Amino acid sequence: MQKRTLGKSNLEVSALGLGCMGLSHGYGPATDTQEAISLIRAAVDRGVTFFDTAEVYGPYLNEEVVGEALAPVRDQVVIATKFGFTFGDDNKQQILNSRPEHIRWAVEGSLKRLRTDVIDLLYQHRVDPEVPIEDVAGVVKELIAEGKVKHFGLSEAGVQTIRRAHAVQPVTALQSEYSLWWREPETEVLPTLEELGIGFVPFSPLGKGFLTGAIKEGASFGSDDFRSTVPRFSPEALKANQALVDLLGAIAGEKGVTAAQIALAWLLAQKPWIVPIPGTTKLHRLEENLGAAAVALSEIDLSKIAEALDQVQIQGDRYSAALQSRVGR
CATH number at residue 148: 3.20.20.100
Q: Residue 122, by phi and psi: left (phi above 0), alpha (psi -120 to 50) or beta?
A: beta
- The pLDDT of residue 91 is above 80: no
Q: What is the dihedral of CA 37, 43, 45, 51, to 10 degrees?
A: -90
Number of domains in the chain: 1
Is residue 57 annotated as part of the catalytic site, yes or no? Answer: yes
Residue 101 to residues 107, 109, 219, 239, Cα–Cα distance (Å): 10, 13, 44, 47
pTM of the predicted model over 0.75: yes
Largest CA distance in the chain: 54
- The pLDDT of residue 55 is above 90: yes
Residue 311: inside a domain, yes or no?
Answer: no
Residue 212: inside a domain, yes or no?
Answer: no
Residue 149: inside a domain, yes or no?
Answer: yes
- pLDDT for residue 290: 98
Q: What is the pLDDT of residues 182-207, one digit of tens each?
A: 999 999 999 999 999 999 999 999 99
Q: Are 272 and 4 in contact (CB under 8 A)?
A: yes
Residue 42: inside a domain, yes or no?
Answer: yes
Phi, psi dihedral angles at 209 (to 5 degrees): 100, -20
> How sure is the predictor about 308, in pLDDT bands with cuts at 50, 70 and 90?
confident
> How sure is the predictor about 282, in pLDDT bands with cuts at 50, 70 and 90?
very high
Rounded CA gap, 62 and 37, in Å?
10
Residue 184: inside a domain, yes or no?
Answer: yes
Residue 264: inside a domain, yes or no?
Answer: no
Characterize the bridge pairing of strands 50-52 and 78-83: parallel
Stretch among 8-22, 218-232, 253-267 having the lowest mean pLDDT: 218-232
Q: What is the pLDDT of residues 93-129, one digit of tens each?
A: 899 999 999 999 999 999 999 999 999 999 999 999 9
Residue 219: inside a domain, yes or no?
Answer: no
Residue 27: inside a domain, yes or no?
Answer: yes
* Crossing angle for the helix pair 159-168 and 133-145, to the nearest 10 degrees: 40
Identify the domain containing residue 173 by its residue range. Answer: 3-206+270-294
Catalytic one among 27, 57, 60, 123? Answer: 57
Q: What is the pLDDT of residues 22-41, one digit of tens each?
A: 999 999 899 999 999 999 99
